[in-house]
Amino acid sequence: MPPVPSPGARSPLQTAMADCGLIAILRGIKPAEAEAVGDALYRAGFRIIEVPLNSPEPLASIRNLRQALPLDCMIGAGTVLDPAICPDIVRAGGEIVVMPHSDPHVIRAAKAALMACCPGVATPTEAFAALAAGADVLKMFPAEQLGPAVVKAWRAVIPPAIPLVPVGGITPARIAEYAQAGATGFGLGSALYKPGMKADEVASHARDFVAAWRKAYPQTGQQA
């Protein structure tokens, strides 16, 4: 099931996900590495990159990515636990907040700072509460426990314009089954990037993921 845009003009997040619904999670990246890795991801087709806040100097990495990459690539912060950090994320150039949980205080702080927000949810109750608080995307976490069958069940009740993004244990080989169940995108961690990984190795992994994405969603994505 391909991404479904909302009526009217697309938001930057909708545009990025329509181009490529893969979110790169660069947990552990250092600021000096960010530009080269970000460029490798962008060239492979990625349009959303997240730096978890439990990485070394995460705001500096976000700043470096934002300065280095074209504006059609969204840069954001992950593992956001404290609503008070949202203004700092914006000042660093962040445009999206990704969370492992669905604390409404963090969601509202992200939206108040004019960022998109992707909270982590594991039940329909959490999902609808997150949407009521202003969530733009639902991060289905951990995907290893939820699986394609749960994605299919959720897709039947979650509004079709709301992206469902499984995160956790996603590999290129698993994208097709989640796509058939109704997933809109995917958050990619250690299968894409591990701390200290060189840009050329990240690029190789990224190309594998983008190829799997384009095969599963043939009507979406960059075709260049």
Say if residue 223's pLDDT is above 50: no
Q: Which range is least confidently modeled, 5-9, 174-178, 191-195? A: 5-9
Burial 133-171, CB ≥16 within 10 A → b, else e? bbbbbbbbbebeebbbebbbebbeebeeebbbbbbbebe
- Is 50 an active-site residue? yes
Measured distance CA(115)–CA(196) in Å, rounded: 29
Question: What is the reported pLDDT for 175?
Answer: 97
Measured distance CA(209)–CA(186) in Å, rounded: 10
Q: Which long-range contacts (CB under 8 A, 24 or more apart) does 111-117 make?
A: 112/86, 113/86, 113/87, 113/89, 114/90, 115/76, 115/86, 115/89, 115/90, 116/11, 116/12, 116/13, 116/74, 116/76
Integer distance in angstroms from the first to the last C-alpha of the chain? 22
Residue ranges of domains in the chain: 45-214
Active-site residue (options: 30, 139, 144, 152): 139
The CATH topology of domain 45-214 is TIM Barrel (3.20.20)
H helical segments located in 22-85:
31-44, 58-68
- Taking only the tens place, the pLDDT of each residue in 65-99 is 999 999 999 999 999 999 999 999 999 999 999 99
Q: What's the DSSP call for residue 167?
A: B
Active-site residue (options: 33, 35, 50, 152): 50
- Give the pLDDT mean for 113-126: 98
- Is 35 an active-site residue? no
Band (pLDDT 50/70/90 cuts) for residue 155 is very high
Band (pLDDT 50/70/90 cuts) for residue 10 is confident
